[in-house]
Amino acid sequence: MLRDGGELQVATGVAAGFVQSDHRFAGPVTVAAGPTAAIAPTTGKESTVHTVLSVNLNKIAVLRNSRGGTRPDLRTAAETVIAAGCGGITVHPRPDQRHIRPDDVRLLAAVSREHGVEFNIEGNPFAPPRGDYPGLLALVEQTRPQQVTLVPDGDGQLTSDHGFDLDRDGPRLQPLVRAFSACGSRVSLFMDCAAPALEQAADIGATRIELYTGPYALAHANGNATAELAACAGSTRRASAVGLGVNAGHDLDQHNLGDLLRVVPQIAEVSIGHALIDEALYAGLEATVRAYLRVIAAARGTDEDAAQRAASYSNHAAS
């Protein structure tokens, strides 16, 4: 049984179970992995998986901070992407406050509650308080997000570029995972695909992992993503086998997202920010979110197709 509460049934869009396309809500999009899928959930049954699009608003804050003042406005950005149909808002406050600030976290937590979408806070649980930054746990205690994604990033990193080493970090993480869970938040750990100790995430109390998809995105851009897709499929199979749900994020965009979801349909959530905001500069924020929702919907094939793709890539990972 998945630690998230049984079968993965997570809605994309404001209306549960529906995917918004253009200006209307389409019917429910259902994908069952089938009995032969090597990365099916551990219930052993076919599962309905609706991948949530969570929009990361860090880059809106970067633009605001570059000039000072309040523009662009984070509330307006959040309400725009929610109205377009996204299922969640993600932020990644850092101690150096290079983009999202503590007051932004509190604001966006309230906006997410008002509109009935998930709120996901990412951050380094080991980073101590600094100045106005109270620490990740304090922010979570104040805002009670639906999900906390723990990421091992430091000030010297331009962006998150690796997952946890649970052989090394597990003992330090375990009490922190308990503390975040006590806030009522689902805890996800940022993990490299094919990390040797991936299964330990369940042992220390996490309910999900987030696959670091940077290497997959780079391989996709270079025209040969077969091995990285196999790694994503294999990691999802391993996570499911110990009851973990699976998210994915980093460098995902409209070009590579569909291929990932066609091979790994069990992904419960994708968190996308940098590419989405880049594309929105030209197409508009609302239109870009809707375009991503169409990519997610189009990635869903028949039950038999999903089973064949998953089995094919899982076999590749094992070879």
Closest C-alpha to 177, from 5, 3, 41, 43: 3
122 is catalytic: yes
For the chain, give every domain's residue range: 20-318
92 is catalytic: yes
**CA geometry: angle at 92 spanning 87 and 95, to 5°?**
160
CATH of 20-318, one of 3.20.80.10, 1.10.3720.10, 3.20.20.70, 1.25.40.10: 3.20.20.70
- Cβ atoms within 10 Å of 58's Cβ, excluding its own: 20
The structure tokens listed for 52 are: 């949530």
pLDDT in tens, 15-62: 333 233 322 222 222 333 322 233 333 233 334 568 999 999 999 999
Q: Are 220 and 228 in contact (CB under 8 A)?
A: yes
Q: Are 99 and 63 in contact (CB under 8 A)?
A: no
Give me the mean pLDDT over the 86-90 stretch: 98
Length of the chain: 319
pLDDT in tens, 191-247: 999 899 999 999 999 999 999 999 999 999 999 999 999 999 999 999 999 999 999
- Residue 300 confidence (pLDDT): 77
Which of 99, 118, 250, 279 is labelled catalytic? 250
- Residue 89 confidence (pLDDT): 98
Which of 50, 92, 99, 220 is labelled catalytic? 92
Count of H-run helices and E-run strands, the chain: 12, 10
Considering only residues 2 and 66, tell me which one the structure prediction assigns the higher pLDDT: 66
Three-state secondary structure call for residue 197: coil
162 is catalytic: no
Q: Which residue has the tokens 């995972």?
A: 177
pLDDT at residue 190 tops 90: yes
DSSP H or E stretch at residue 246? strand 245-249
Average pLDDT of the residues of the chain? 83
Q: What percent of the chain has pLDDT over 70?
A: 76
The structure tokens listed for 179 are: 């503390």
- Residue 88 confidence (pLDDT): 98
For β-strands 24-25 and 20-21, DSSP reports them as antiparallel
Give me the mean pLDDT over the 268-292 stretch: 98
pLDDT in tens, 144-177: 999 999 999 755 555 556 699 999 999 999 999 9
**DSSP string computed for 116-135:** T-EEEEEE-TTPPPBTTB--
**DSSP string computed for 84-119:** TT-SEEEE---TT-SS--HHHHHHHHHHHHHHT-EE
**DSSP string computed for 21-40:** ETTEE-PPP-----TT-TT-
Residues 271, 288: Cα–Cα separation, whole Å? 14
Which of 122, 210, 269, 279 is labelled catalytic? 122
